[in-house]
Amino acid sequence: MVFETKRRLERLRQKMVEEGFQCFLISKMKNVLYLTGSSEGFLLLPETGDPQLLVSPLGLEEAKERAKGCQIIELRPGERIFERVAAFLADMKARKVFFDSLEFSSAQLLKERLELELKDGMGHLWNLRKVKDEGEIEKIAYACKLTSLGMKALRESLRIGVEERLLAAIAEYEMRKKGSDGTAFSTIVASGPRAAMPHATASSRTIQEGDVLVVDLGATVEGYASDMTRTFLLPRATEKAIELLDIVKRAQSKAFEGLKAGISCKEADSIARDIITKAGYGERFIHSLGHGLGLEVHEPPSLSQHETEILKEGYVVTVEPGIYIKGFGGFRVEDTVLVCRDGARRFTFDL
């Protein structure tokens, strides 16, 4: 971790200097975690000298224990952080400053005090964060294993009359017990007509004969997420439901087989979309094929028709085609995978 955060900080600094900027202000928790190992603090990365981590008394212990490669500066209780940032930027005579996220009022304060050019530098951070290193891959793979175990426990508890919320609890309990730090998002357990809503969370509805059930689940391990969806058909599911799930599964496995470094996000999306369109449900595939995943569940790139970016070795993405028919149900199968040179490696289990 020490070498990794140091390498990340140096690469970001190099980009900053190349573009003629003197400082990078980093306030998003996941970016601070990625660059320092601590999820506490506000990071100032100057062109020379130690990065400075401004920390409130509340986060001081964590920062001291976990932050690597930077100088920790304790803020006074109630001290306004941007007063300190402004003073720091004035001291170093910064003129061009990158930020990852900046509230309008904070930007205004800086502009009032200093002659500054402020520019969104989040793209530089994403360029680093998109390519996962060994340590990150290990954490994501572990989170995916826990998610698969949770999904398996849910499947084993699946019966007529059980509440969606109980099924969610069973899956989450299993993940927790095996080592998850928490869910990566609100677990989706959507049965019957509710399955047609891609973002429905678990409700008090009970599972009925003939239901379609969509379960979307994720764990976290040391800040890293996982994402997995399975669609289950209850006894007496209709012929149409069986057919629709088959189409989605076919689209999903073809997209997985075709995924590799060197193809574009759009091309990846097209593999699945063409299959679903040929089957007559193109209009019902209402989202993109997938998304990047790491410290956040949804990261760039988006595997969509609008994204021409080329996938690189080391990207972790989801592959999740779906078909949704209002009043009838929804069908989605999702795995988290690593993009490799000649293909993709699946982290979530085959179940």
Q: Which stretch binds Mn ion (CB under 5 A): 17-25, 112-120, 223-231, 234-242?
A: 223-231
**Torsion 55-57-59-64 (CA) sign:** positive
Q: Which residues contact 79 (CB under 8 A, 6 or more apart)?
A: none
Using CB under 5 A as the binding rule, whether residue 147 contacts Mn ion is answered as no
- Cβ proximity to Mn ion, 318 vs 348, nearer residue: 318
Which span (23-31, 149-157, 226-234, 262-270) binds Mn ion, by CB under 5 A?
226-234
- Least distance (Å) between residue 334 CB and Mn ion: 5
Phi, psi (deg, nearest 5) at residue 51:
-60, 145
Q: DSSP character for 174?
A: H
Helix (H) or strand (E) holding 125: helix 122-130
Q: Residue 136, interface with Mn ion (CB under 5 A)?
A: no
User: Of the listed pieces 21-29, 94-102, 225-233, 277-285, which binds Mn ion according to CB under 5 A?
Assistant: 225-233
Which residue in the set 31, 180, 318, 336 belongs to the binding site for Mn ion (CB under 5 A)? 318
Does residue 299 bind Mn ion (CB under 5 A)?
no
> Between 26 and 317, whose beta carbon lies closer to Mn ion?
317
Question: Which residue number places its CB atom closest to Mn ion?
Answer: 227
* Shortest CB 321 distance to Mn ion, Å: 11
In this structure, what token pair is assigned to residue 238? 């209709």
Q: How far apart are the first and last CA of the chain?
A: 33
Is residue 191 a contact residue for Mn ion (CB under 5 A)? no
Show the tokens assigned to 163.
Answer: 């509440």
Q: Which of 136, 227, 299, 307 binds Mn ion (CB under 5 A)?
A: 227
* Alpha-carbon span 328 to 313, nearest angstrom: 39
- Amino acid in position 95: R
Contact 54, 41 (CB under 8 A): yes
Q: Does 348 bind Mn ion (CB under 5 A)?
A: no
Cis peptide before 235 (omega within 30 of 0): no
Distance of CA 230 to the CA centre of its chain: 18
Task: Indicate whether 269 belongs to the interface with Mn ion (CB under 5 A).
Answer: no
Q: Min. distance of Cβ 227 from Mn ion in angstroms?
A: 4
Q: Taken in order 123, 35, 17, 14, is the CA torsion positive or negative? A: negative
Two structure tokens written together for 153 = 């426990």
Minimum distance from residue 173 beta carbon to Mn ion (Å): 22
Contact segment (CB under 5 A) with Mn ion among 57-65, 115-123, 305-313, 317-325 equals 317-325
Q: From the CB of 258, what's the least distance to Mn ion, in Å? A: 19
- State which residue, 45 or 319, has the beta carbon closest to Mn ion: 319
Q: Of the ranges 196-204, 205-213, 255-263, 313-321, which one interacts with Mn ion (CB under 5 A)?
A: 313-321
Cβ-based nearer residue to Mn ion, 63 or 188: 188
CB nearer to Mn ion: pick between 67 and 225: 225
Q: Is 223 left (phi over 0), alpha (psi -120 to 50) or beta?
A: left
Residue 92 is given by DSSP the state: T
13 vs 332 by CB, closer to Mn ion: 332
Q: Residue 13 carries which side chain, given as an amino acid letter?
A: R
Which residues would be at the binding site for Mn ion (CB under 5 A)? 227, 318
